[in-house]
A and B are shown apart, each in its own frame.
Chain A
Amino acid sequence: DVQLLESGGGLAQPGGSLRLSCAASGFTFNNYAMNWARQAPGKGLEWVSAITGSGSRTTYSDSVKGRFIISRDNSRDTLYLQMNGLRAEDTAVYYCARENPVPAFDIWGQGTMVTVSS
């Protein structure tokens, strides 16, 4: 089965850091660009960041640019999101999603909750 499984969420203090991981299985990971999206409690979806299949190019939303770093390890079929300088407004469920060439996000993980609070 094609699957994405996030981990690494939890409670962080304002200004702190967390690193999210997304383990992929069931497909050739390096053939696909990957994305992170998030959803604040009771709110809609917000795209966060994307990375190409090779990892050579990354993009970020304005809300996280300069604070978050997306990366991938194709030898481990794993996507990462390093989150630094966390703010209360970063509190959300974070999803990783596979980007197919259509383009659309065709496979999503189950999400991992990040709470930023003192």
Chain B
Amino acid sequence: EIVLTQSPGTVSLSPGERATLSCRASQSVRSSYLAWYQQKPGQAPRLLIYGASSRATGIPDRFSGRGSGTDFTLTINRLETDDFAVYYCQHYGSSPLFGQGTKVEI
């Protein structure tokens, strides 16, 4: 069974800085099955990245994803106040699986 481990659990940054979020799988996974979501308090998740590196519709290019095998990264450049949220990675397998989340706080 695949386990997704996100790090750090919480990162404290200022607007304008860069956030680098990690998602590590316990075994190699297909990059095409790796997605990232953003969730703000009281809201549903929103798809940011699919296929490890493709931005979903309407997602600004400040958000970028990369990685392969077991190590994946979501980078948010020039943080805006609207970006402070919790971010989840997801592996789409026979049983879709989410990481435990990384909170990006001001």
Give A residues with C-beta under 8 Å from B. Answer: 35, 37, 44-47, 50, 59, 61-62, 95, 100, 102-106, 108-111
- For the complex of A and B, the 6 pairs showing the least CB-CB separation, nearest first, are A104-B50, A108-B44, A104-B35, A47-B96, A45-B98, A102-B50
Known A45-B98, A46-B98, A47-B97; judge A104-B92 contact (CB<8 A). yes
Interface residue tally for chain B (C-beta within 8 Å): 26
Q: Does B40 count as interface, using CB distance less than 8 angstroms?
A: no
Q: Does B75 count as interface, using CB distance less than 8 angstroms?
A: no
Q: How far is the CA of A112 from the CA of B99 in the complex (A)?
A: 22
Q: How far is the CA of A117 from the CA of B80 in the complex (A)?
A: 40
| Least Cβ–Cβ distance between B21 and chain A, in angstroms | 14
Which of B46, B94, B96, B97 contacts A35, CB < 8 Å?
B96
| Least Cβ–Cβ distance between A28 and chain B, in angstroms | 17
